[in-house]
Amino acid sequence: DAMVIQNPRYQVTQFGKPVTLSCSQTLNHNVMYWYQQKSSQAPKLLFHYYDKDFNNEADTPDNFQSRRPNTSFCFLDIRSPGLGDAAMYLCATSSGGPTLGAEAFFGQGTRLTVV
């Protein structure tokens, strides 16, 4: 089945130690998103790629970076994780942008713990 896969499902990292979360997709979608979801809150968009074009949300901290080496893969890099960065990180894809009514397909998420 075509899908969005996030690895790992659970990640524990040390305060200040860089960490990378990965996302891959077999849907061949041109748009990939990274959301941060803290406990009992709505997902918050960090940034997205429309093809190779990177779109950063205005309030996304510089501590968060992303790479998309090809259509299938997208990475979230947290350069110096703080305790406040502990959250579920959700990767999603869509065919065409949201302004076209395209639904987003989500991965299972990576739960990040910072110790």
Segment near another protein (CB under 8 A), from 12-20, 63-71, 75-83, 96-104? 96-104
Please select the residue that binds another protein; options are 42, 58, 59, 83, rule is CB under 8 A: 42
7 or 80: CB nearest another protein: 7
Greatest extent of the chain over all pairs of C-alpha atoms, in Å: 41
Q: Does residue 97 interact with another protein by CB under 8 A?
A: yes
CA gap 115, 83 in Å, rounded: 7
Number of residues this chain uses to bind another protein (CB under 8 A)? 25
| 19-25 vs 73-78, strand pairing mode | antiparallel
> What's phi and psi for 80, nearest 5 deg?
-145, 85
Q: How far is CA 36 from CA 10, 43, 66, in A?
A: 14, 6, 13
Among 26, 54, 103, 115, binds another protein (CB under 8 A): 103
Per-residue x/- track, 49-68, another protein (CB under 8 A): --------x-----------
**For residues 47 and 65, what is the distance between their CA atoms, to the nearest angstrom?**
9
Positions touching another protein (CB under 8 A) are: 4, 6, 33, 40-43, 45, 48, 57, 88, 90, 92, 97-99, 101, 103-109, 111
